[in-house]
A and B are shown apart, each in its own frame.
Chain A
Amino acid sequence: MNSVQTAVSQTSPPKKSFLYDPKVRGVFYQVVLVAAIIFLFYVAATNAIENLQRAKIASGFGFLNNTAGFDISQTLIQFSAAGGTYGDAFIVGLLNTLIVSAIGIFFTTFLGFLIGIARLSKNWMVAKVAMVYVEVLRNIPLLVQLLFWYIAVLGALPQPRNSLEMGAGFYLNARGLFMARPIWASNIEILVAVLLIGLVVTFIYRRWARKQQEQTGRQYPVGKVTLALVLGLPILTWIVLALLGANPISFELPRKGTFNLTGGMQILPEFVALLLGLVTYTAAFIAEVVRAGILAVSKGQTEAAGSLGLTPGQTLRLVVIPQAMRVIIPPLTSQYLNLTKNSSLAVAIGYPDLVQVFMGTVLNQTGQAIEVVVITMGVYLTISLLTSFIMNIYNRRVAIVER
C-alpha cells in the first residue's frame, strides 16, 4: 500500500498556488514588459504629435521631393542647389559615405595586415615599431585624430595660385588634390567585355588547374595566368585599340589658371583627411585582429607542414593563413563595420557624408527630426545587417568542418 501511495503522490504532486507556476510567472512578466513598452511608445508618440503640431512642423516623407536649395562640395551624381531635391541630397550623402568606406576598407586591410604581421616579426625593431603604432593609434579618439589630420593636411597645403605640381597631371593645393579625369569613349564596351571574358576564363582555368592538381599532383602557374588574363588582356586590347586610332579612354587634365585650377578631377582635402584618419585608426585594430589570428594557429601546424617538406612560403600560404583567416574573419568584419560607422565623424571636418548632409543640413532646414533620424539610422542598420549576413555566409564556408 505504502509503495502505491508514494507512486501516486509522485505522479500528482501536491497542488500549489498557480502563482508559483514558472509558466504563469513568465507570462505575467512578459505582459508587464509589453505593457510598459507600449505605454512608453504611446506617451512618446502623443507628445511628439502635439509638439510637432505646436511647432508647425510637417510630418511624413513628402519633404524628400522638395527642392534642397543648398550645394554639396562632393557629388558623385548630378546635384545642384536649384534642381536637387532632399531625396537627391540623401543619395549624394549616402554615396559619399559608401565611397569613403569602400576605399577606406581597401587600404586599411592592407595596412592592418602589414602591421599585424610586423608585430609578430622576429626583427625586434620592426615588432617594436608596429607595437608603438598600435598602442598610440588605438588609445587616441578618432575624432582628435581626424581634426589633427585635417589641420595637418590643410595647413601643409599651398594656396591654389601656387599649387604644387606633381607631374602626370597631378596638382595639390588647399582645395584638394587635382588629377586627370578619365573620359570614356563609346567603345569602352569592348574593353569591359574583354575584361569580363578574362575573368570568366580565369575562373574556369583555376577550377581546372585545381582539379588537375588534386588528381595528378601537377601544379600549374595559376598566379601568372590570372595576372595575364585579368590585367594583361585588357591592357593589350587598349593598346591595340589606341594604335588603331579608336582610343576608348582619354584624360582631361586640370589646367592651371591664374587663381584656380579648372577641369580634371578634384579630391577634397576633407576626403583625404577622413580617409587618412579612418585608415590609420582602423588599421591599428585590424593589426591586433590579425596578430591574434596568426597566434591562434598552433605551432604544431607549422612544424607539421615543415616536416612534410613545404617551404616557409608554402607553409604560410597553404597552412597558416587559411587557418588564421577562420579566426580573423568575424572580428575583421566588425572592424569594417566600425570603419563604416566611424565615417560618420566626417561631420566634424565637413566632409559631406550621409550624416553631415542629411542629419545636418537637411534636418536643420526641414526640422523633420523623426523622419530624418529614422532614414539615417535605417541606412546604417541595413549596411550592418547586410554585411553581417554576407560575412556569415563566408564564415560558414571557411568554418571548420567536423564530423
Chain B
Amino acid sequence: MSTAVDMPRFVRARQVEALPPPNLARGPIAWVRENLFSGPFNTILTLVVFFLLYVSVPPLMKFLFIDAVWTGTDRAACRADTGGSESGACWAFIWDKLNYFIYGSYTISERWRVNIFFILLAVGVVWLLWLKAPRRDLGAVYFFWVFPVVSYVLLTGGNESFSGRFWIGFAIFGALVIALFAFVAALLKASLRPALILGGGIVAVIGITLALVDLDFGLAHVPTSLWGGVLVTLLVATVGIVVSLPFGIVLALGRRSKLPIVRMAAVIFIEFVRGVPLITVLIMANTMLPLFLPGDMTVDRLLRPLIGTALFASAYMAEVVRGGLQAMPKGQYEGAMSLGLNYPQMMSLIILPQALRIVIPGIVNTFIGLFKDTSLVAIVGIFDLVKTIEASRIDPAWAAPTIGITGYAFAALFYFVFCFGMSRYSLGVERRLAAGQKR
C-alpha cells in the first residue's frame, strides 16, 4: 500500500560529473544579480527606479551645482536678460545675505555676542549629549541655569537697572521664603538646617540670577525686534528644550500621580495641547497673552511665541518621560520605598535617572520635532530663518526667478543638517542602550 514500496527503484552505477563551480557567487556582478535583477519583477522594479532617478537626479544636480551661480553682487548675475544664468540656483544671493540669515538685523558691531552665544550653546549641547563627558551633572546646571542667564545678558545687553525698591522687595520676599521653610520644618519636627539650606539656596539662585540681569556689563542694549535668522531659530529651540524638559518631567510625574486632582490637571493640559495644532497655540499666545496681563504690562513680541512653543513642547516631552516612568519595573519603586526614601528622594535619586536615560532617544526625537516646529514662528511674524528668507526673497536688489527656490533650498539644507545629525545621535544612543539587552 505504501507508496515507498511501489516506487520504482533506481540506483546510479556511475558517479555523475561534478557541476562547474559557481563562478558568479561572489563579486560585484553576483551582487548586482542577486540584489537588483533576481527575477522579472525585481528587474522591472530596478529599471523603473533607475528611470525615476534618471529623470530627477541629473536635473537637480544641474540646478544645484552645475548651472548654479556662485558669485555676484546683485540680481544681474541670476537673470538671463542681464547676461546672467537663470537656469541654476543663485547661491550668490545666499552668500550676499548670509549675515542677515544668521543674525537678522542684530546690531552689526555687537554680533560677536551672538557668536559667543552659539559657542556657549554648542558647549552645553555637547556636554549634555556626549554620554562620556565628565561631570554631566554640572553640565545640567550649566545648561539649565548658567547658560540661559549668561545668554540673556549677552544677547539683550542685560543692565535691566531694577530700582532700589525692587531689591528691598526681593529681600523681604527672600526672608519670607526662608521663614516659610523654617516654619514647615518646625511644624514637621524635622531638623532646621537642611530646610534653611534649601530655602536659602532657592533665594540665592533667584537673587544671583536677578543680580546678573541687573548689573551693567557695559553691553549695548539690543532690542529683540532686531534679532533674527538662525539666532532666533536656535533661540526658540533652546528655550523650548530648556523649559520643556523640566516642565515635561513635572507634567509626567503629575500624570502618574495617585492624587486625582493633580492627575486630572496634568491629563487635561497634556491632551489639550496635543490635540491642537502649534500654529493655533502660537496665535493664541500672540493675541491672548496681552489680554490676560494687567493693562500696563506688555509682553515682548519675541517672548510670546517662546512661551507658546515651550508649553507646546512640554506636553510632548511629558508623554515621552511618562513612557520612561512606565518602563521602570515596579521593583525599583518598591525598593526605593523600602529604603525609606520619600517621594522626592525616590524620584530624583532612583526613578528619574534611570527613566530619563532610557528615553534619551525619545527626548531627542521630540527635540527634532521642536526644532522643525520653530519654523512656524515665522507665521506670527517673528524673523526666524524662514522669515528672513521670505523677506530677502522679495528684495528688489535680488529680484530673479530662481531666488525663491534657492532660498528655500538653503533653509531645507540647514534644517536637514541639524535634524539628520540629531536623529543619527538618537539612533546611536538607542543602539548603545540596547547593547545590554543583546545576546
B275 touches A144 (CB 8 A): no
Query: A33 and B261 in contact (CB under 8 A), knowing A47-B294, A125-B36, A147-B408?
Result: yes
Which residues 259-273 of B have a CB within 8 angstroms of A?
A: 259-262, 265, 272
Q: Report the Cα distance A151→B376, complex, angstroms.
A: 18
Does A20 belong to the interface (CB within 8 Å)? yes
Residue of B nearest to A345 (CB): B279
For residue B392, give the distance in angstroms from its CB to the closest CB of chain A.
13
Residue of A nearest to B419 (CB): A139
Does B338 belong to the interface (CB within 8 Å)? no
Does A148 belong to the interface (CB within 8 Å)? yes
Does A106 belong to the interface (CB within 8 Å)? no
A-B contact pairs, 5 of them (CB 8 A): A126-B49, A140-B412, A380-B275, A380-B277, A384-B275
Most chain B beta-carbon contacts within 10 A, residue among A51, A123, A341, A381: A123
A359 touches B408 (CB 8 A): no
Partner of B379, one of A47, A126, A348: A348
Residues of chain B contacted by A136 (CB below 8 angstroms): 416
Residue of B nearest to A369 (CB): B287
Residues of chain A contacted by B53 (CB below 8 angstroms): 129
Does B327 belong to the interface (CB within 8 Å)? no
Residues of chain B contacted by A144 (CB below 8 angstroms): 375, 386, 408, 411-412, 415
Most chain B beta-carbon contacts within 10 A, residue among A44, A147, A355: A147
Binds B, one of A6-14, A166-174, A320-328, A370-378: A370-378
Does B372 belong to the interface (CB within 8 Å)? yes
Does A30 belong to the interface (CB within 8 Å)? yes
Which residues 273-313 of B have a CB within 8 angstroms of A?
A: 274-280, 283-284, 287-288, 290-295
A355 touches B405 (CB 8 A): no
Which residues 41-65 of B have a CB within 8 angstroms of A?
A: 42, 45-46, 49-50, 52-53
Which residues 377-416 of B have a CB within 8 angstroms of A?
A: 378-379, 386, 390, 401, 404-405, 408-409, 411-412, 415-416
Residues of chain B contacted by A54 (CB below 8 angstroms): 295
For residue B426, give the distance in angstroms from its CB to the closest CB of chain A.
12
For residue A347, give the distance in angstroms from its CB to the closest CB of chain B.
6
A342 touches B277 (CB 8 A): yes
B259 touches A30 (CB 8 A): yes
For residue B309, give the distance in angstroms from its CB to the closest CB of chain A.
13
For residue A30, give the distance in angstroms from its CB to the closest CB of chain B.
4
Does B105 belong to the interface (CB within 8 Å)? no
B416 touches A139 (CB 8 A): yes
For residue A321, give the distance in angstroms from its CB to the closest CB of chain B.
19
B276 touches A381 (CB 8 A): yes
Q: Report the Cα distance A38→B194, complex, angstroms.
A: 32
Partner of A151, one of B259, B260, B372, B405: B405
Does A29 belong to the interface (CB within 8 Å)? yes
Q: Report the Cα distance A347→B381, complex, angstroms.
A: 12
A124 touches B292 (CB 8 A): no
Instruction: For the A-B complex with A48-B288, A122-B35, A143-B375 known, give 6 more contacts whose Cβ atoms are closer than 8 Å.
Output: A51-B291, A121-B45, A122-B42, A139-B420, A143-B379, A373-B288
Which residues 83-112 of A have a CB within 8 angstroms of B?
A: none
B265 touches A44 (CB 8 A): no
Residues of chain B contacted by A342 (CB below 8 angstroms): 277
**Chain B residues engaging chain A, CB cutoff 8 angstroms:** 35-36, 38, 42, 45-46, 49-50, 52-53, 187-189, 258-262, 265, 272, 274-280, 283-284, 287-288, 290-295, 368, 372-373, 375-376, 378-379, 386, 390, 401, 404-405, 408-409, 411-412, 415-416, 419-420, 423
Residues of chain B contacted by A143 (CB below 8 angstroms): 375-376, 378-379, 386
Q: Report the Cα distance A54→B265, complex, angstroms.
A: 32
For residue B423, give the distance in angstroms from its CB to the closest CB of chain A.
7
Partner of A373, one of B284, B404, B408: B284
Residues of chain A contacted by B295 (CB below 8 angstroms): 47, 50-51, 54
Residue of A nearest to B37 (CB): A123
Does A37 belong to the interface (CB within 8 Å)? yes
Q: Report the Cα distance A37→B411, complex, angstroms.
A: 41
Residues of chain A contacted by B375 (CB below 8 angstroms): 141, 143-144
For residue B207, give the distance in angstroms from its CB to the closest CB of chain A.
24
Residues of chain A contacted by B291 (CB below 8 angstroms): 47-48, 51-52, 369-370
For residue B294, give the distance in angstroms from its CB to the closest CB of chain A.
6
Q: Report the Cα distance A380→B273, complex, angstroms.
A: 10
Does A34 belong to the interface (CB within 8 Å)? yes
B262 touches A139 (CB 8 A): no
Residues of chain A contacted by B283 (CB below 8 angstroms): 355, 359, 363, 373
B42 touches A26 (CB 8 A): no
B35 touches A30 (CB 8 A): no
Does A19 belong to the interface (CB within 8 Å)? yes
Does A385 belong to the interface (CB within 8 Å)? yes
A140 touches B419 (CB 8 A): yes
Q: Report the Cα distance A385→B306, complex, angstroms.
A: 27
For residue B388, give the distance in angstroms from its CB to the closest CB of chain A.
13
Does A191 belong to the interface (CB within 8 Å)? no
Does A5 belong to the interface (CB within 8 Å)? no
